Structure 1
């Protein structure tokens, strides 16, 4: 079993344990309620107020420093160039394995960043919306490679980020349905001039996307800060298998679900199927395409076996 935490590299990061990180928060004290938790966490993924206060409040504080400096640089550059260019969104990328909890991290961060003193407008985009439609994947005989670099319309994603960073407003992005396991036709998400944009997806720090984008420009070139959500592979596998079983007994029961074919499986059959999918698809993608991008991030959230952040690694400045 390969550990996603092991590395022989000299670390460019400062490492903080949970208590050390918690004590770094200087001012963010907004209160969330139980309804917030219900809307923020994913299936089989525990989330507590303590986790948000201990991990995400200090993270928001750190990001506030970066956003403030970004805006100050914008103003000073405008003065130097004698121009009045509009401010551009501060873009945060969030990467990590399937089932590691990226989506929850993104949703929590979106919520907590909105508490910052200037009450910024924060939008969230997932790169699932930039997957090719199933019909395209089938035509190319790569439906079983969904999530691999070649399954994304990387050129479209880069064009979207380029437009964001050029100051264009009111942009739309495609919407992906996990229930349908496909892009939703005639449905888009409107992004209206955010102060902060979070871009979440397994592929956001990859550089091998150049093969599919047709250029030397990478998705991460547009990020002002990036986060990698990490854990031991054995824990991620457990989370994936448990999530699959939970969905089998709930969402997969819906006849309209793409995965309804798994609904009548026994728990043992469900575990076997999920493990097979992990070993044949998700594990190779993790080892070949996702994990190698970890050290390109500015910050790494490392989780323990209970899905709570154990350590935070911050790139040295």
Structure 2
């Protein structure tokens, strides 16, 4: 997303890392190195410097958005004469595989939970709404896992609708990265959070609109704020392959891992598999489904080749 590629009347305002860092104001640093070690994903070199420069200004911005949105909800309830409780603020985080969505989501959750008013902040990934492998295999979609058609969209929309309605206990399926599948008969319960973070590849995806004008809800319709983690295609490719190689040394060595077989083969064969998985599945999904959603985000965090956020784009209001 270089300067020359931006339209003259861009809907986003762009900030360098230094310009964005200056917007922190007096937002306190509430995380330390030990916290960050627990929150950091494999192969993601996020540091305290990144938290100070990028995430503290973002935390400040979100506190303003949450307060303003809750004011709008209260005004609407007053207008309707409704006695309904507080409506949760939902943040969506999208972007490619290996770009750092999970780290961003966990760091944000930790920071937001430690605001002075200590809000209740929940985090969920859309992995839980993937169809079970048995369904994907039956439908010939195993190599489309992570593509929009591999998700149980009605179930995800029902879940988000329950959250927005203030349901006492909204539940979602549980996904295991170890076995690469939905865990049967296991659910995670989200009980009326003040803020919910929803992280996933295609959370900003817009379905094709029908010509008859029928209502077609988008997942992003439920978001109060959305974030896209961006990076150059070549960098994401490299990070994906590096992560695959690191996983061969860690998670894949577990005999229960769906990918355990990849820990047992030669480095050369493993590299060939990683390249094939990237080119046949993840690159196609990025180009066809994920990257086109980038302009829909309220905030774009652009990473450089070292995996560090170098530019921030904030949608104009």
TM-score (norm 1): 0.94
CA distance in 1, matches of 2:12, 2:205: 20
Unaligned runs of 5+ in 1: none
CA distance in 2, matches of 1:23, 1:207: 34
Deviation of 1:76 after TM superposition, in Å, equals 2.2
Deviation of 1:246 after TM superposition, in Å, equals 0.4
CA distance in 1, matches of 2:2, 2:284: 13
Deviation of 1:95 after TM superposition, in Å, equals 0.4
Contact 2:302 2:309 in 1 (8 A): yes
Give the 3 Å change call, closer, same or farther, for CA 32–26 of structure 1 in structure 2.
same
Contact 2:88 2:196 in 1 (8 A): yes
CA distance in 1, matches of 2:270, 2:4: 30
How many positions carry a matched residue from both structures? Answer: 313
CA distance in 2, matches of 1:80, 1:234: 51
Give the 3 Å change call, closer, same or farther, for CA 28–115 of structure 1 in structure 2.
farther
Aligned twin of 1:115? 114
CA distance in 2, matches of 1:102, 1:52: 14
Farther off after superposition, 169-178 or 295-304: 169-178
CA distance in 2, matches of 1:43, 1:269: 22
Deviation of 1:209 after TM superposition, in Å, equals 7.3
The residue correspondences of 1:1-317 to structure 2 (distance < 5 A) are 7=5, 9-10=7-8, 11-208=10-207, 216-317=216-317
Unaligned runs of 5+ in 2: none
Aligned-partner SS, 1:302: strand
Deviation of 1:215 after TM superposition, in Å, equals 6.0
Contact 2:130 2:150 in 1 (8 A): yes
Deviation of 1:28 after TM superposition, in Å, equals 1.6
* Deviations, residues 252-280 of structure 1 (Å, cap 9, x unaligned): 11111000111122223222211111000
Contact 2:129 2:153 in 1 (8 A): yes
* Deviations, residues 94-146 of structure 1 (Å, cap 9, x unaligned): 00001111111101111111122311110001000000000000111111110
Give the 3 Å change call, closer, same or farther, for CA 6–128 of structure 1 in structure 2.
farther
Aligned-partner SS, 1:23: helix
Contact 2:230 2:301 in 1 (8 A): yes
TM-score (norm 2): 0.94
